[in-house]
Amino acid sequence: MGRVAMEDKSYIIKVAQYAHGSRRSIYDIPQGHLLSSELIICPAVENLVPYSVTQPAIFKTNELLPVKDLKLLVRDYEKIARDATTILINLTADQDILEYLASDHDFVKILLGRVTNPSEPNANLISMLLANLAKYDELKDILTIERPAPQELASNNKAIDQLLDLFVKGADGTYNKAADFDYLSYLFADLAKHKEGRQYFLAKQEYDGVVPLTKLVVFTEHKSFVRRKGVASTIKNVAFEVDAHPSFLDEDEINILPYLLLPISGSEEFTEEESLGMLPDLQLLPPDKRRDPDPSIIQTHIETLMLLTTTRHGRDLMRQIKVYPIIRETHLHVEDDGVREACERLVQVLMREEEDGEVGEGMKALEKIPRTGTSSKPFGKPQISAGAGSWAQRDESQDDDDDDRVVEV
């Protein structure tokens, strides 16, 4: 390690030690009254943010002492907590730190308590951190955590229900004026790579009588790219539950098809025969209708449609409601290799002659299965790639790993 790196390491350790020694005095003073210790530590923590990207290994010194103290600072005053949370978001690109944070159930519960607080100023950052922690498989335990819900949330005592209700309320800013909770959709996408997660999203909840997935599908055309991306990925992962496909397709249950077809549809005109055969929501779209501007989201929706062709009923229904013309126009107007390949695979299934029995062509043609485990690659932008790294191709397992971890710099 060079001289500069050694100096940086010493600086970070000193800040961590100072933070560790300053906690009691800061916690003992009334909210809004600053001591000199906080005035010093605030810029000190801010100065550490760049190191969390350029030299993350430094934070692993002294048996992760800096990380341990950053966990304390997440509960500090707004500015200090913001910088500490940002650093932790960046550090979760390191597998050891990720596992250390995500396996700390008490820390996860602290994050849950803060993100559900309607006056929490850093709720979006905490949402990002939770989304990153879901890269560690054991965070699926969040599905079983119970804790009292804030009265304002009007949810139940299951943490996952509270997070889902936060996400819904965040769409219009009715719960916390400082947060939209969009990044929780990335958390949902990774939880849905586990069977327990998929079962949760498909099971009607007793406290409100609603199937959780139906709370998400309404956001496939939301203005937020992050929200649309995470929701699309969650839907696709849940669609790996083939036994639930009848519920997906039933108009009186999840009724997923309009929410998949509208985002990939533009303002193209169809023949009268084609148009009349389509779902009512797809008929006579306005001339200014635009399909989703992000090709990766379009590809995800088409791959979900492919999964839904796994059963004969799914294939027959898509033929009946004229999915082919929509896919044809998508293939023609979206200049993206991934989208066009997905369109071609789906068309091959829809246009072929059927044989007797359930052949499961949708699953075979997609050639993807849910993936467990995490990626060890560092990522440099707040973006998710085709499902938060939640599935893998059988023959190209590494391709979907890129850019799947949220990083705030």
Q: What is the pLDDT of residues 121-146, one digit of tens each?
A: 999 999 999 999 999 999 999 999 99
Distance CA 116, CA 126 (A): 10
List b or e across 191-224, with b for residues whose CB sees 16 or more CB atoms inside 10 angstroms: bbbbeebbebbbeebeeeeebbbbbbbebbebeb
Three-state SS for the chain is: CCHHHHHHHHHHHHHHHHHHHHHHHHHHCCCCCCCHHHHHHHHHHHHHCCHHHHCHHHHHHHHHHHHHHHHHHCCCCHHHHHHHHHHHHHHCCCHHHHHHHHCCHHHHHHHHHHHCCCCCCCHHHHHHHHHHHCCCHHHHHHHCCECCCCHHHCCCCEHHHHHHHHHHHHCCCCCCCCCCCCCHHHHHHHHCCCHHHHHHHHCCCCCCCCCHHHHHHHHCCCCCHHHHHHHHHHHHHHCCCHHHHHHHHCCCCCCCHHHHHCCCCCCCCCCHHHHHHCCHHHCCCCCCCCCCCCHHHHHHHHHHHHHCCCCHHHHHHHHHCCHHHHHHHHHHHCCCHHHHHHHHHHHHHHHCCCCCCCCCHHHHHHCEEECCCCCCCCCCCCCCCCCCCCEEECCCCCHHHCCCCCCCC
Average pLDDT score, the chain? 83
Max mean pLDDT among 18-32, 67-81, 87-101 falls in: 87-101
Residue with tokens 């300053």: 22
pLDDT at 39 over 70: no
Give the C-alpha separation, 83 to 78, whole Å: 9
Quote the CA–CA distance of 166 and 97 in Å, as a whole number.
Answer: 27
Give the tens place of pLDDT for each residue, 188-213. Answer: 999 999 999 999 999 999 999 999 99
Residue 401 has pLDDT above 50, yes or no: no
Q: What is the mean pLDDT of residues 360-385?
A: 38
Residue 386: pLDDT over 80: no
Residue 41 has pLDDT above 80, yes or no: no
Phi-psi region of 358 (alpha: psi -120 to 50; beta: other; left: phi over 0): beta
pLDDT above 60: residue 165: yes
- Which residues 6+ apart lie within 8 Å of 84 measured at CB? 45, 70, 73, 74, 76
**What tens digit of pLDDT does each residue of 240-263 get?**
999 999 999 999 999 999 999 999
Please, which residues have CB within 8 angstroms of residue 58's CB and are 6 or more apart in sequence?
5, 8, 9, 12, 51, 66
Report the pLDDT value the prediction gives residue 360, as an integer from 0 to 100.
52
Confidence of residue 374 (pLDDT cuts 50, 70, 90): very low
Predicted model pTM: 0.83
What amino acid occupies position 352?
R
| Contact call for residues 216 and 185 (beta carbons, < 8 A) | yes
**What burial letters (b/e) apply to 70-109, b meaning 16+ CB within 10 Å?**
bbbbbbbbeebbbbbbbbbbbbbbbeebbbbbbeeeebbe
250 vs 12, 358, 360, CA distance in Å?
Answer: 57, 19, 19
| CA atoms of 126 and 173, how far apart (whole Å) | 16
- Output the CA–CA distances (angstroms, integers) from residue 351 to 179, 209, 348, in the order listed: 46, 39, 6
Terminal CA-CA length for the chain? 24
